[in-house]
Structure 1
């Protein structure tokens, strides 16, 4: 397949591009700067500009572009950037693919477009599959807009899959870097009550699932990219502490997280989703890391 990738410089993109090439695919990367290599093509998602010729002969687009969500307060300007970077990039590739599909309807095309389990809002103990309703907080509303931006491609007959990704566990993942350091210093512990579910996925399975979905012709719509066993925060920090051979005895009070991180703390740390990969598993995907301890051991170099 010929595959265009946006967000190729991010955590997932850096692991995905070489994996796709190892599979024998022809990969082009869409970049916002001046291209440096023959496989790079410039685009300007902020102004919804992408040369139609770039995607006219592609079989798939993997859209991973978007400003990273970091552990910091959601200021108005940061919120605008989070929304616009995702909606603009997704709309741009979706419209370009729709035009290509309309010009050549005999060629099957697929758009795998990033989203997040934050779509569901705080779901408490309820098990969440892909047919669940969206939540009401900022991240949930962001995900709704993000996924809706794929509509031009859907309407043109492109197979569209929205990748509702959980917390990615990988060596260079922000979550692993930050918490790994804190726990190695012996300063880790549960966050708030510790009862909130943290849906995780190993980087290996995030990449593996994307590779799988490229050719899973019967799968379309939202797919939870999460490990098969979501865990509570208290279990997450216990497993992380065990992976670095340190105790987890210093809980972080909920009030401190709310004061320090504002809405991010409320919606992304103290809330959670018991999301399971129902559609991915029913389609036949087999996980490399079916449990959190194995994913943490690999991410922390202790596998």
Structure 2
């Protein structure tokens, strides 16, 4: 299979590329920089709306992971980059695929559990309505931007990722130093549910979406056992054999990090992976402690 991957240099994209190539699939990177000599890559410029459709011919599948990092204080400019990198980039890619003479059979797009907003203890499945807030708005527009590919007859899957856990990147990597120093603790009340997935299962969900013809539309890419933040804190401390005595008060988090903290650190999302389980995906890490112990040795 010949697979075009955007965001192939990120920690999820790199792991996916390694997995696909280990099974002898050909991975072609979609990159904003000029490809190096001999590199299997295609250049695009989402900001300028530039992508040569003719060079896309021959692709069997597309995996679209690219997007501005949501970490950091959300200034107006940062929020505009978050939205445009996802919505504009997806629309450009979907419209380009729709103009192809022989389009790929499947397009797997990253989305986010942020689609559901802050929902307390409500159990959230792929049938649940969207929530409110900036990330929920972006996720709705992000998924809708793939409509041109869908209308062309391409099978489109939106993987609504929870927090992808890996010591190589993302939130867990940022947590490890303070937790290892015994400075870890819960966020606010700690009662908020966290939708999470291990990096191996995030890669597995993408591979499952590529290979499973009955999967289409939204798919929750989360582990089947979401945990409250206080349980996550205790579990990570236990795995690292470190105390977790501290609490980051909600007002302090919002004071320092603003809207980003409100929508990412203190929201509650009890998301369940109904579609993955229904279509037979077997999680390598269904529970948090075994995931952390496996990844952290």
For the aligned pair, the TM-score class normalised by the smaller chain equals: over 0.9
SS in 2 for 1:12: helix
Distance 1:298 1:50 in 2: 40
CA distance in 1, matches of 2:91, 2:73: 27
Output the TM-score relative to the length of structure 2: 0.97
For residues 230-268 of structure 1, give each alpha carbon's deviation from its aligned partner in whole angstroms, at most 9, with x where no partner exists: 000000111111111101111111111111111111111
Match of 1:25 in 2: 25
SS of the equivalent of 1:183 reads helix
CA contact (8 A) 1:56 1:97 kept: no
Match of 2:243 in 1: 247
Alignment pair present for 1:145 and 2:146:
no
Which position in structure 2 is the counterpart of 1:64?
65
1:284 matched to 2:280: yes
- Pick one of 162, 166, 169 that aligns with 1:170: 166
The answer to whether the 8 Å contact 1:48/1:91 transfers is no
- Give me the whole-angstrom Cα distance separating, in 2, the residues matched to 1:54 and 1:293: 45
TM-score normalised by L of structure 1: 0.95
For 2:150 and 2:48, locate their aligned partners in 1 and report how far apart those are by CA, in whole Å: 22
Per-residue CA deviation, residues 102-131 of structure 1 (Å, 9 max, x unaligned), is x23xx7610000110000001110110011
- Show CA shifts across 1:257-287 (max 9, x none): 1111111111111112100110011000000
1:38-67 CA-partner distances (Å, limit 9, x unpaired): 301111111121111222211110000101
RMSD over aligned CA atoms reads: 1.1
Moved beyond 6 Å, runs of 4+: none
- Please give the per-residue CA displacement for 1:47-97, whole angstroms capped at 9, x wherever unaligned: 121111222211110000101111x22110000000011112111211111
The 5-angstrom pairing of residues 46-125 of structure 1 reads 46-70=47-71, 72-100=72-100, 103-104=101-102, 109-125=105-121
Match of 2:44 in 1: 43
Match of 2:124 in 1: 128
Q: Which residue of 1 aligns with 2:155?
A: 159
Gaps of 5+ in 1: none
- Distance in structure 2 (CA, Å) of the matches to 1:189 and 1:169: 17
Residue aligned with 1:65, SS: coil
Partner Cα separation in structure 2 for residue 74 and residue 272 of structure 1? 20
Q: Distance in 1 between matches of 2:221 and 2:60?
A: 22
Q: Which residue of 2 aligns with 1:2?
A: 2
Query: Hey, what's the Cα distance between the residues in 1 that align with 2:62 and 2:140?
Result: 20
